[in-house]
């Protein structure tokens, strides 16, 4: 058998290591939603929750406009669903009446940053500024503490997640993407969401999706028919003694 030289062995070892890293990054990315940026980082937000009671959460990112928001709120009220809304500071300040309306309807409100920036490009000081400013703006309008944060574009790095955790703010992603921001038809949105939800899932929607309000009643009915129960994200996640696996799924610490 032909012997392999030391240089070739080093090359093979390096290539194998690179392949393992690439495979790990791909697995982590496909575990979440299609638009998430991930490159093997170890500090992860919460994509979903490991639980067997069929509780799930639907969430809406609010950054642009309010044209469809009333119809979304009407659908949620009719379906008796409490959801979580992540609002950017400039949206909250431009539409304080809608923030109050969302809060009065019993929904949960988290921050979606102050300026809707790519958070992985910011320094720790800038991250802290974005979180402090946006939380303060929301709290000033609702009178309620903000405890959840969703990074714009799903973009994050170790520094962002570690900073959130240090501030006692839970960084939240999603494991079911409706892709409503791509203006999919209502039926396509329903098909995407209903087919992917499992116990502990976090569904991503947007308050300004063209067909989100049209799809929402069917999504609620179909998932409830499957035995799922809707709760706000703050009631879905574990608040302490938890761990997050490599897919971003949260579990009670030391759970078997």
Q: Which residues are catalytic?
A: 61, 206
Contacts of 245 (CB under 8 A, 6+ apart): 50, 251
Alpha carbons within 13 angstroms on the beta-carbon side of residue 203 total 32
The Cα–Cα gap between 254 and 248 comes to: 16
Tokens of 16: 């194998």
Q: Dihedral angle at the C-alpha atoms of 176, 100, 45, 122, nearest 10 degrees?
A: 120
**Which of 250, 248, 68 minimizes the C-alpha distance to 156?**
248
Find residue 57's DSSP bridge partners. 202
Alpha carbon distance 171, 112 (integer Å): 10
Cβ within 8 Å of residue 89, ≥6 positions away: 111, 113, 114, 115, 133, 134, 137, 138
* The residue to which tokens 């402090």 are assigned: 132
CB 156 within 8 A of CB 37: yes
| Residues in a beta bridge with 109 | 85
CA–CA separation, 88 and 103 (whole Å): 15
CA dihedral of residues 114, 88, 160, 117 (deg, nearest 10): -70
């Amino acid at each position: 058998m032909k012997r392999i030289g030391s240089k070739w062995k080093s090359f093979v070892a390096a290539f194998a290591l690179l392949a393992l890293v690439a495979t790990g990054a791909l697995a982590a990315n496909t575990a979440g939603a299609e638009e998430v940026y991930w490159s093997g980082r170890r500090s992860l937000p919460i994509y979903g929750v490991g639980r067997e009671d069929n509780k799930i959460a639907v969430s809406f990112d609010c950054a642009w406009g309010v044209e469809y928001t009333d119809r979304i709120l009407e659908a949620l009220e009719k379906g008796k669903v409490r959801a979580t809304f992540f609002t950017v500071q400039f949206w909250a300040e431009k539409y304080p009446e809608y923030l109050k309306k969302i809060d009065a309807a019993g929904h949960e409100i988290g921050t979606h940053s102050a300026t809707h920036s790519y958070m992985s490009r910011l320094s720790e000081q800038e991250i802290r500024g974005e979180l402090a400013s946006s939380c303060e703006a929301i709290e000033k309008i609702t009178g309620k503490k903000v405890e959840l944060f969703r990074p714009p574009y799903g973009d994050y790095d170790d520094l962002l997640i570690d900073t959130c955790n240090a501030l006692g703010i839970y960084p939240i992603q999603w494991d079911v993407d409706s892709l409503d921001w791509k203006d999919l038809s209502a039926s396509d949105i329903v098909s995407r969401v209903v087919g992917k939800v499992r116990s502990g899932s976090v569904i991503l929607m947007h308050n300004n999706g063209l067909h989100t309000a049209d799809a929402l009643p069917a999504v609620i009915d179909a998932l409830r028919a499957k035995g799922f129960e809707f709760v706000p994200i703050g009631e879905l996640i574990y608040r302490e003694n938890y761990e997050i696996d490599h897919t971003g799924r949260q579990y009670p610490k030391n759970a078997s």
